[in-house]
Amino acid sequence: MKKTNTFIVLLFLGTVAFAQATSNLVVFSEDGNKFYLILNGIRQNEKAQTNVKIMDLNQPYYTTKIIFEDNTIPDLDKKILSVVDASTSSPQEVTYKIKKDKNGLNILRFFSMVPIAQAAPVPSNVEVIRYNTVPLSPITTSVTVNETTTTTSTGANVSVGSNIGGVGINVTINDPLLNGTVTHTSSTTTTTTSASRSGSTNYSDPAPTGCSGAYAMSSTNFSSAKSSISGQSFEDTKLSTARQIISSNCLTADQIKQVMLLFSFEDSRLTFAKEAHEKCVDKNNYFKVNDAFSFSSSVEDLNKSIAP
């Protein structure tokens, strides 16, 4: 009983000691991709940066999420990120880096740790933020859509309308010798704002419904991608090639199923189906990939993995 009380007292003193001091966290992108840092569901930086330092962290562990400014790059999650010395639980300045693993996927890895007193001066290009507990405004992205309209007139009188730089131009041609069809084509660009991206909740997208609102690979590019995968001699190489393709492209559920059928083993199909779910533009049709499995247990495993 005495030993138990002593342990509780020591644990309490250790907690109090940590509460009286705070840690710093530095996260940087090895590839220079700008990102937003989310700690315990709260976004920390207002603008996307390649290197972010958070000060005054009064907890030893945080749930972490990285959202990249380039929305074709999948989000990165780490359930438990330590900002203390594991052996002493003392506050530190801990640095993590975002890097690619052997399969070309982004991961968050421990880089270095030093006592707060020994921390190096902060470079002028690094944003320093005191731990934020107030949700920031949603992250927004924009998509540019090109539309082409064609006006056709037949006969002697031809009217052509155009819009250049926001200024309307109308030209009427009256030529008795003109007997035929005149076609005028103009192109306009419309910018629309996609749905918001938040650090604390999943964000929704316009149609297409997944992959950050981006569009799937064209049939020509997808055909080339399949040829590249099927041209590999080994199963592992096929899988790594497929992963490389989805790291920078979006696919439809049907395209994902076609890629799965290029693999010889059930495990490879299941692994790819799990990883490709986030890059699917029509997740409501993801049931289609079930046809690529040979065993019902694989379908059950996939459903558990992608369940919200």
Higher-pLDDT residue of 152, 304: 304
pLDDT of residue 246: 92
Q: For a pLDDT cut of 90, what percent of the chain falls above it?
A: 51
Range 234-251 burial, b when 16+ CB lie within 10 A, else e: eeeebbbbbbbbbbebbb
Tokens of 265: 């083993």
Q: For a pLDDT cut of 70, what percent of the chain falls above it?
A: 71
Give me the residue label for tokens 């315990």: 40
Q: 0.85 cut: is pTM over it?
A: no
pLDDT of residue 100: 92
pLDDT of residue 159: 53
pLDDT of residue 127: 81
pLDDT of residue 277: 94
pLDDT of residue 96: 96
pLDDT surpasses 80 at 2:
no
Higher-pLDDT residue of 185, 265: 265
Per-position DSSP letters for 40-108, written without gaps between them: TTEE--SS-BSEEEEEEE-SSEEEEEEEESSTTSPPEEEEEEE-B-TTT--BEEEEEEEEE-TTS-EEE
pLDDT of residue 201: 37
Q: Report the candidate in 258, 262, 263, 257 with the shortest Cα–Cα distance to residue 302.
A: 257
Radius of gyration of the chain (CA): 27
Class of domain 2-130: mainly beta
pLDDT of residue 188: 44
Q: How far apart are CA 210 and CA 279, in angstroms?
A: 7
pLDDT surpasses 90 at 66:
yes
CB atoms within 10 A of CB 278: 15
Q: How far apart are CA 153 and CA 29, in angstroms?
A: 56
pLDDT of residue 214: 80
First-to-last CA distance in the chain? 45
51-65, 74-88, 259-273: least confidently modelled range: 74-88
Under the banding of pLDDT at 50, 70 and 90, the label for residue 187 is: very low
Tokens of 209: 């419904």
- How do residues 121-148 score in pLDDT, each as one tens digit? 888 878 899 999 888 888 765 444 454 4
Q: How far apart are CA 77 and CA 66, in angstroms?
A: 6
Q: Average model confidence (pLDDT) for the chain?
A: 78
pLDDT of residue 271: 95
Q: Report the candidate in 98, 89, 97, 94 with the shortest Cα–Cα distance to residue 119.
A: 94
- How do residues 11-20 score in pLDDT, each as one tens digit? 444 444 444 5
pLDDT of residue 192: 38
Higher-pLDDT residue of 156, 71: 71
pLDDT of residue 280: 93
Mean pLDDT calculated for residue range 15-29? 75
Bridge partner list, 78: 64
- How do residues 262-307 score in pLDDT, each as one tens digit? 999 999 999 999 999 999 999 899 999 999 999 999 999 999 999 8
Higher-pLDDT residue of 254, 153: 254
Show Cβ contacts of residue 269 under 8 Å, excluding neighbours closer than 6 positions: 260, 261, 263, 292, 293, 298
Q: Where are the domains of the chain?
A: 2-130, 142-193, 211-306
Q: How far apart are CA 249 and CA 12, in angstroms?
A: 51
DSSP letter at 5 equals: H
Show Cβ contacts of residue 99 under 8 Å, excluding neighbours closer than 6 positions: 30, 31, 106, 107, 109
Q: How far apart are CA 256 and CA 281, in angstroms?
A: 10
Q: Report the candidate in 216, 210, 272 with the shortest Cα–Cα distance to residue 244.
A: 272
pLDDT surpasses 80 at 25:
yes
Range 258-275 burial, b when 16+ CB lie within 10 A, else e: bbbebbeeeebbbbbbeb
- 235-246 vs 266-276: helix axis angle to the nearest 10? 10
Q: Give the 3-state secondary structure of residue 123.
A: coil
DSSP letter at 251 equals: B
pLDDT surpasses 60 at 199:
no
